[in-house]
Amino acid sequence: MSSGMTIGLLVRIEAKPEYAEQVGAMLRDAVALANEEERTLAWFSFRESATTFGVFDTFADEQGRAAHLQGRIAAALMEAAPTMLAVAPDIRQIDLLAAKLP
């Protein structure tokens, strides 16, 4: 791909109902941290349902993905997991096949 993106992460996050709005706010605010990560090429957080959220991000190489997984967003998510999440985040490593960007 011409954008340099070759790999990514797809993360599904299931919040406890009483913490859903806090999880949503945390993921909304995490974009500021993503913007600081030079090796994170694209980063999206989204809401699928009242309690189901997700993150999709892309990287040029395994070093970028590893750096992200060891970064501040992942640390905040893991710190919140025991209290705010119904189950541990489902983190999937993916290979990108194609992309259309603005």
Total residues belonging to the chain: 102
CATH code for the domain of 75:
3.30.70.100
Query: Which residues make beta-bridge pairs with 43?
Result: 57
Structural domain contains residue 56: yes
Q: How many domains does one find in the chain?
A: 1
Summarised one tens digit per residue, pLDDT across range 61-93 is 999 999 999 999 999 999 999 999 999 999 999
Structural domain contains residue 102: no
Domain that holds residue 11: 7-95
Structural domain contains residue 49: yes
Is 0.85 topped by the overall pTM? Answer: yes
Summarised one tens digit per residue, pLDDT across range 1-32 is 446 879 999 999 999 999 999 999 999 999 99
Q: Residue for token digits 């993106």?
A: 5
Contact 14, 87 (CB under 8 A): yes
Structural domain contains residue 101: no
Q: Residue 18, class by beta-carbon neighbours within 10 Å (0-12 exposed, 13-18 middle, 19+ buried)?
A: exposed
